[in-house]
Amino acid sequence: MLTIGLLGCGNIGNIIAKNHVGVEIVALFDQMPERAEEMGRLCHAKAFGDIEEFLSEDFDLVVEAASVSAAQEYALSVLEHGKDLVVMSVGAFADEYFREEVTRRAAALGRRIHIPSGAIFGLDNLKIGQISGITKLLLRTTKNPRSLNMECTERMLLFSGQANECIKHYPKNTNVSVALELAAGRAVEVELWADPDVDRNVHEIFIEGDFGEATITVRNRPSPDNPSTSYLAALSIITLLKNLSEPMRIGT
């Protein structure tokens, strides 16, 4: 069975710990050591307070569910320790130089980096953008101000522009925009709205290209323990882990 180490023992980490399928969690790390220890009691895995010791433990793959800065800080080290990597904080790869460095190192070391579909649908066939023209790619994200850690009394446009700029300002809320960018192999326009009248994390994706047009609307339930993060994101990573060791691959 695939063995994993969880880097980040917050909301997504806890959902994985309680619901994982087809993998064994053996090691845990969080910058708040008490969170790793508490989770260790829950899933009988070893909690580490030191990243080097965590990465030196014997397991196959690190699941990062911590933060964009954690992904940037530890990705190379994970690969150097002979482990594959699942990155939830995909905004880390908005930095092209960093992305190329990590990809080069993974190739040299024979390691793999997996990016889950996270809080959206449609990432699979959007990859056709790597071989066929996509002329428009817009993500409109709308969240309750609570999910954005702010207050407002009416619908308000917080950001309009490119994904790689948006993620710098909203690293806890717009990782999906960078996932879209990586899948399609082109820039993504982003609008980020706060709306006190919505109780879901809504992602509307507008795509036009040689294939035709597509519009995808995802109305996500926020996670009970972290309203910034949609519950779908945690389900997505659990499913990715389940599928990693299955012989048949589904989706582009």
Ligand X SMILES: O=C([O-])CC(=O)C(=O)O
Residues forming contacts to ligand NDP in the complex (CB under 6 A) are: 8-13, 30-32, 35, 65-70, 73, 88-90, 118-119, 172, 175-176, 179, 226, 229-230, 233
- Give every CB contact of residue 13 below 8 A, 6+ residues apart in sequence: 6, 28, 30, 35, 39, 63, 65
64, 74 Cβ separation under 8 angstroms: yes
Three-class SS of residue 130?
A: helix
The bridge status of strand 156-162 relative to strand 134-143 is unpaired
Distance CA 106, CA 85 (A): 9
Binding mask 82-121 for ligand X (x = CB under 6 A): -------------------------------------x--
Strands 156-162 and 189-194: antiparallel
Does residue 164 touch ligand X according to CB under 6 A?
no
Residues comprising the binding site? 119, 175
* Pairing status of strand 61-64 against strand 84-87: parallel
Q: Which does 66 bind (CB under 5 to 8 A by kind): ligand X, ligand NDP, none?
A: ligand NDP
Nearer to ligand X, 164 or 228 (CB): 228
Among 142, 144, 228, 236, contact with ligand X (rule: CB under 6 A) = 228
The reply to whether 203 belongs to the active site is yes
- Residue 57 has φ and ψ, to the nearest 5°, of -65, 155
User: Least distance from C-beta 222 to ligand NDP, angstroms?
Assistant: 10
Task: Output the smallest distance, CB 59 to ligand X, in A.
Answer: 26
Does 173 engage in binding with ligand X (CB under 6 A)? yes
- Sequence ranges of the binding site for NAD(+): 119, 175
How far apart CA 218 and CA 220 sit, in angstroms, is 6
Stretch that binds ligand X, among 32-40, 72-80, 102-110, 169-177 (CB under 6 A): 169-177
Residue 142 binding: pick among ligand NDP, ligand X, none (C-beta 5-8 Å cut-off by kind): none
CB nearer ligand NDP, residue 118 or residue 209? 118
Note whether 220 binds ligand X by CB under 6 A: yes
Cα gap 42→111, rounded to integer Å: 30
Report whether 141 contacts 177 (CB < 8 A): yes
Q: Does 27 bind ligand X (CB under 6 A)?
A: no
Helix (H) or strand (E) holding 157: strand 156-162
- What are the catalytic residues? 203
Contact residues toward ligand X (CB under 6 A) are 119, 172-176, 201, 220, 228-230, 233
